[in-house]
């Protein structure tokens, strides 16, 4: 039951569509009718409002991290098992990902989950999260394709989570290991599935680069 509560709490927090809300508050209307139709920071950037896109990025990442942190703290307070806090945090992080990508408020049609994924990884195991963020940044600088950067960063995250303790034993104290690798793998699979259209465009060489506009998908 506690893990179900962590999952449900993470889902509800993750389902808050910050990109949609901020676009309305910024006077841009329904962000789902702009650019790619996605509710994430990359599409908000297509409005030309960089501060609004940055706020979306921070809030979407933050809700994943907050879901993890709240679950961890509550489990520490109310559950006797020493493994319960980390397990509850992982479950809540998974719930936040599901909430962002399949929000009940939007008919289960949400975002692609990259920012939320990075927030979850940073909160559950910060070394893995930092490496994922740096990987995204490096690939983005080299190729200037947001989706490709995200796909590479999140594909590597499970491997980093699994092998990092072998090269840096202290990483296990921060959550790296098998459980984190399983969560990172589940997140990567979900994000890759949500990027199926982007993957087709990447293979075709038609995926827009960062800062380049994109027509509304049919």
- Which of the pair, 182 or 217, is modelled with greater confidence? 182
Dihedral angle over CA of 184, 51, 55, 39, nearest 10: -70
Residue in the structure block whose two tokens are 């599409």? 43
Q: Is residue 45 pLDDT above 60, yes or no? A: yes
What integer pLDDT is reported at residue 210 of this predicted model? Answer: 81
Q: Is residue 218 pLDDT above 50, yes or no? A: no
SS3 for 36-84 is CCCCCHHHHHCCCCHHHHHHHHHHHHHHHHHHHHHHHHHHHHHCCCCCH
What integer pLDDT is reported at residue 217 of this predicted model? Answer: 44
Instruction: Summarize pLDDT for 151-209 with one digit per residue, the tens.
Output: 999 999 999 999 999 999 999 999 999 999 999 999 999 999 999 999 999 999 999 98
Distance in angstroms (rounded) separating the CA atoms of residues 42 and 28: 15
Dihedral angle over CA of 165, 171, 177, 180, nearest 10: -150
Both tokens assigned to 95? 């719930």
Q: Average pLDDT over the chain, rounded to whole?
A: 95
Instruction: Summarize pLDDT for 96-112 with one digit per residue, the tens.
Output: 999 999 999 999 999 99
pTM greater than the 0.75 cutoff: yes
């Amino acid at each position: 039951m506690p893990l179900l509560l962590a999952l449900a709490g993470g889902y509800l927090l993750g389902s808050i569509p910050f990109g949609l809300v901020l676009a309305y508050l910024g006077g841009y209307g329904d962000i789902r009718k702009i650019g790619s139709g996605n509710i994430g920071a990359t599409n908000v950037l297509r409005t030309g409002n960089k501060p609004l896109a940055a706020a979306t990025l921070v809030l979407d990442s933050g809700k994943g991290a907050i879901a993890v942190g709240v679950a961890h703290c509550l489990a520490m307070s109310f559950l006797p098992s020493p493994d319960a806090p980390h397990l509850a945090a992982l479950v809540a992080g998974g719930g936040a990902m599901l909430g962002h990508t399949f929000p009940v408020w939007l008919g289960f049609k949400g975002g692609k989950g990259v920012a939320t994924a990075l927030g979850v990884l940073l909160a559950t195991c910060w070394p893995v999260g930092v490496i994922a963020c740096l990987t995204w940044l490096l690939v983005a600088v080299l190729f200037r394709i947001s989706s490709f950067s995200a796909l590479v960063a999140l594909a590597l995250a499970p491997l980093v989570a699994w092998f990092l303790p072998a090269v840096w034993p202290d990483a296990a104290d921060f959550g790296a290991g098998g459980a984190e690798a399983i969560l990172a793998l589940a997140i990567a699979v979900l994000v890759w599935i949500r990027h199926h259209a982007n993957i087709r465009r990447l293979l075709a060489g038609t995926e827009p680069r960062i800062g380049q506009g994109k027509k509304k998908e049919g």
